[in-house]
Amino acid sequence: MAYRFRGGVHPPESKLTADAPIVDFPIPQQVVIPVQQHIGAPAKTVVAVGDVVRKGQLLAEPGGFVSAAVHASIGGTVKKIAPHPQALGIAAESITIESDGNDDWAEGCNVERDVASMDAKAIRDAICDGGLVGMGGATFPTHVKLSPPDNKPIDTFIVNGVECEPFLTADDRLMFELPGKVLDGAEVLRKALGCQRTIIGIEENKPDAIAAMTAAAAERDDMTVLPLHVRYPQGAEKQLITAALGREVPSGGLPMDVGVVVQNVGTCYAADEAVRFNRPLIERIVTVTGECARTRGNFRVRVGTLLRQIIDHVGVEDDMNQLIIGGPMMGLAQPSPEVPFTKGTSGILLTRECPEAPTLGCIRCGRCVEACPIGLTPSRLSTLLESHMVEEADAWNLNDCIECGCCTYVCPSKRPIVQQVKYGKAELRKLKAKQQ
């Protein structure tokens, strides 16, 4: 049974690449690999300029429990270790490798292991060693999500195959083309959690993926594919839990508080690769699309590939003037294509920037309140933050906002509510740090 979560919107789906098979992107001659591609502490570099590295070799080890390892995505020579512009508009330490044409795996990688003999700790360790992070966009280190405290038992593991963002189809193609690999990884993750039930949530606009995953799940115990009503942002963890189980994660809480862990289908695939074959996370599938892309498709791309290389490969129309990492609802517009492709890059949108509409005052229409999937009052947050009243916005549950963009999408006054919320959260963090 599928439930409905509150709020949400249904923007045009624009799944232009739904029928485009996954294609391996050419191996780049040079990659720029950031040491932080995840939520948490940056990884600590363990190589030096001049070192020769092989594909899958450790470049940076986790900088704490909430951190993730980083590995070489190509074989070659370390040419530079220095700050490089990232998608968030800041420069962060990155490792530049120049290819030597040798694409062999590093020693110890690409070796099959007996998963049946591995216990939960061994699986978590293998996932940590592989540098896995949530690949739905949050990039939370996977081994951390697989380590709930003893007082929060997990009864259900949810595989997130929703992919509700317009334009993006990478997860859809992965489920359709490699359903067995996705579910092999789901079984590995379920074993690490020690729970029995697995639900695979997929929106109904992906019938081929639903059919493929249903056929693959029929051969496994306690795995169920759940077709879901099409509604954005159903792919967000809290909304997916409500849609799949009818449970509501409390304000300030986590999925484990209601006995659930959620992982993206891409993370499941990567878990099978890391645990069963000792292949670290050095590549992922990404949708490259948009009205200005001459070649649209779903590509398997190495981490550290510069966006410029991807754009040059697919070709763009002359009047393309907007580059977005992610989808149109939650993606980030980029001022330059010189930023690197990372573990969290699910989409690259090449388009024309819409004429900027004038921002007006809030007219108290309530559309944002109806659309908010969390049950907040975005109009109130917007007016408070417009006046820099950060502490007052905190009292209106500012940090519960998931920044899905539904409020901005429906606002007739074209108010930049999500941008105001991002600003407010950053200012709130500074304020609380100062108070402490």
DSSP per-residue string spanning 355-387 = PPPPP-------HHHHH-TT---HHHHHHHHHT
Same domain, yes or no: 235 and 377: no
Q: Do residues 159 and 202 lie in contact, with contact meaning Cβ atoms separated by under 8 Å?
A: no
For residues 279-295, give the mean pLDDT.
Answer: 97
Assess if residue 100 is contained within a domain: no
Torsion, Cα 171 173 177 183, to 10 degrees, reads 10
Do 256 and 139 have their domain in common? yes
Is residue 128 domain-shared with residue 234, that is, in the same domain?
Answer: yes
- Residue 186 within a domain: yes
DSSP calls for 163-223:
--STT--HHHHHHHH-HHHHHHHHHHHHHHHT--EEEEEEETT-HHHHHHHHHHHTTSTTE
Judge if 269 and 372 occupy the same domain.
no
pLDDT at 413 over 80: yes
Residues 138 and 253 in one domain: yes
Range of the domain at 236: 115-277
Residue 156 lies in a domain: yes
- In percent, the amount of the chain with pLDDT more than 70 equals 100
Residues 233 and 127 occupy one common structural domain:
yes
**Mean pLDDT of the chain, nearest integer:** 95
pLDDT of 44 above 80: yes
Check: CB of residue 141 under 8 Å from CB of residue 38: yes
Question: Is there a domain that residue 418 lies in?
Answer: yes
Identity of the residue numbered 337: P
Render pLDDT for 91-147 as a digit per residue (tens, 0 to 9): 999 999 999 999 999 999 999 999 999 999 999 999 999 999 999 888 999 999 999
- Residue 374 shares a structural domain with residue 255: no
Question: Do 267 and 133 lie in a common domain?
Answer: yes
Question: Does the pLDDT at position 2 exceed 80?
Answer: no
70 domain-assigned = no
Same domain (yes/no): 131, 235 = yes
Number of domains in the chain: 2
Query: How far from each other are the two terminal CA atoms of the chain, in whole angstroms?
Result: 46
Domain boundary among 277, 294, 313: 277
386 is a domain residue: yes
How are beta strands 70-71 and 223-228 bridged, if at all? unpaired
Is residue 392 included in any domain, yes or no? yes
- The CATH number assigned to the domain holding 160 equals 3.40.50.11540
Q: What is the pLDDT of residues 154-183, one digit of tens each?
A: 999 999 999 999 999 999 999 999 999 999
Backbone dihedral angles phi then psi of residue 244, each to the nearest 5 degrees: -85, -35
Three-state DSSP state, 325 = strand
CB count in 10 Å sphere of residue 332: 12
220 in the same domain as 119: yes
Q: Mean pLDDT throughout 81-98?
A: 93
Residue 402 lies in a domain: yes
Are 224 and 120 contained in the same domain? yes
Q: Looking at residue 371, what is its pLDDT?
A: 97
Contact between 138 and 211 under an 8 Å Cβ cutoff? The reply is no
Last residue of a domain, one of 217, 252, 277: 277
Answer yes or no: pTM beyond 0.85.
yes
Q: Return d(Cα 73, Cα 283) in angstroms, integer.
A: 7
Last residue of a domain, one of 260, 277, 294: 277
273 plus 373 within the same structural domain: no
DSSP three-state, residue 252: coil
